[in-house]
Structure 1
Amino acid sequence: MLDFDFEPSRPSWSKQLAVFDLETTGLDLRQSRIVTACVAVLDSNGLTTALDEWLLNPGVDIPAAASAVHGVTNEIAAAQGVAPGPAISEIVEKLRELNKSMPLVAFNAPFDFTILKSEAIRHGITPLDPAPVIDPLVLDRAMMKYRSGKRTLAALCQDYGVELKDAHNSTADAVAAGLLAQRQATKFPDLDMEISALHSAQVIWSDEQSLDFAQWLKKQNRPDYQAELGWPIKD
């Protein structure tokens, strides 16, 4: 098959992307454990050229609510999952190596990268310091400040015309996030900048978005909410 670059005018950062997603035992960034993970590479046409997947036995109970989202039960994890320590080491090293030559894409990056850091520390592994990173959620909020409806991965994929066949499957979500980033690169000329500059911009944009959300909640009679800053990792 001939390899044509159908989007030659896209920013160079979008021509090869490493995509990353986790499914976990919960939403707590410090206590949740990894259940499944995917790291893949997309070429300039959005085709998957490399793929690594992991199913872990997290060593703790997978709540029924989490299993209902990603489909992995305690029984499946016990029967088919690998030990978390070696798997987390593999995930970190795979991302570290890929990040030397391409951006890492993660939708709502602080969720995945903060949990990965917490897990690495838990197992005595040197944490990943991801950079550059592309976060399609931060990009959408920056380029489309006012949007009706939700900004879930599924909702944004529908808006940008990206197919998401199996939401909350780590591989499907990772690949969809990469395709979404490539669509955004085509749609918004303001994203045509050097990748280091775009990474730095997202650090600022993410904090601004978190503070704006906190202000909005205060207007909704939720004055106790405190914005947690930090991107792509919340320390």
Structure 2
Amino acid sequence: MSPWYTGRLAGFDLETTGVDVETDRIVTACVVQCGGKHPTRSATWLADPGVEIPEDAAKVHGITTQKARAEGRPAAEVVAEVTAALVEAAEVGVPIVAMNAAFDFTILDRECARYGVTSLWAQAVPLVLDPRVLDKHLDPYRRGGRKLTDLCRHYKVALDSAHSADADALAACRVAWRIGSTLPDVGRLPLDELHELQVKWAAQQAASLAAHFRRTPGKEDQADGVRTEWPLIPAPREGGDR
């Protein structure tokens, strides 16, 4: 069987109104399929999230409330179409590449619940590649940041228009390809095995971060907010329990 990095990859990225997976909304989205000796195929969406886009978020991705209302499509339609594009990839075994996957998949899951769309996870069993989780496992002691721009610099991947969903989705695929093609211990693993390993690695990385917060003066209260689940954070149970 050919290594996974020689086949098709589906990049997935969202830009949102904020970083709270339970309350924030999708503003832009991209699902791009690339590699596998086939042309790159990209779909992008601009949604009207139905809420104000905070100024800080607009500074990151460039979409203001006014622009989203004037040019964006209804959020329910966008959520349904993004989910359908991911289901299409998952059903044929194309791995979905998402940087910091637990954020994007959880935001999408909550948007599905908000608009009555059947979630990705109820329709398919996606295999996920998260460049952030892979990189932190492979090179845990490297100094510096682990954002997409940092990984692109480290793995010598071009990133134009950072924080636009289409550029970020494609760059994440290129980082994943670079990891797989240059590090055979990862590149030769079957996708289902690599997915399950990332579940374990992500939990270990989150536990390490929480421990770091607990022993860092002034950051102790951040430890309880660190989630260990990957690539999807379960929805809160009624009553607010997680």
Question: What's the TM-score once normalised by structure 1's chain length?
Answer: 0.92
Distance 1:88 1:80 in 2: 16
State the AA in 1 paired with 2:207: L
Q: For residue 162 of structure 1, what is the aligned residue in structure 2?
A: 157
State the AA in 2 paired with 1:200: E
Distance 1:211 1:10 in 2: 34
Question: Identity of counterpart residues, as a percentage?
Answer: 40
CA contact (8 A) 1:10 1:185 kept: no
Structure 1 residue 29 corresponds to structure 2 residue 24: no
- 1:147, distance to aligned residue in structure 2 (A): 1.1
Q: For residue 132 of structure 2, what is the aligned residue in structure 1?
A: 137
Q: For residue 38 of structure 1, what is the aligned residue in structure 2?
A: 30
Q: Deviations over 1:62-98 (max 9, x none)?
A: 0000000000001110110000011110110110111
Task: Compare 10-19 and 107-116 and name the one that shifted more.
Answer: 10-19
Distance 1:26 1:118 in 2: 14
Q: Among 200, 212, 216, which residue is 2:208 paired with?
A: 212
CA contact (8 A) 1:62 1:74 kept: yes
State the AA in 2 paired with 1:230: E
Q: Among 167, 176, 189, which residue is 1:181 paired with?
A: 176
State the AA in 1 paired with 2:231: P
Q: For residue 220 of structure 2, what is the aligned residue in structure 1?
A: 223
Task: Compare 158-167 and 10-19 and name the one that shifted more.
Answer: 10-19
Distance 1:13 1:178 in 2: 9
State the AA in 1 paired with 2:46: L
- 1:12, distance to aligned residue in structure 2 (A): 2.5
- 1:14, distance to aligned residue in structure 2 (A): 4.6
Give matches, 1:7-86, under 5 Å.
11-44=3-36, 49-86=40-77
Distance 1:21 1:42 in 2: 14
How many corresponding residue pairs? Answer: 226
Q: Among 201, 205, 210, which residue is 2:197 paired with?
A: 201
Aligned-pair RMSD on alpha carbons? 1.5
State the AA in 1 paired with 2:142: R
Distance 1:14 1:153 in 2: 22
Distance 2:59 2:198 in 1: 32
Question: What's the TM-score once normalised by structure 2's chain length?
Answer: 0.90
Distance 2:208 2:40 in 1: 38
Distance 2:4 2:111 in 1: 32
- 1:13, distance to aligned residue in structure 2 (A): 4.6
Q: Structure 2: which 5+ residue stretches go unaligned?
A: 235-242
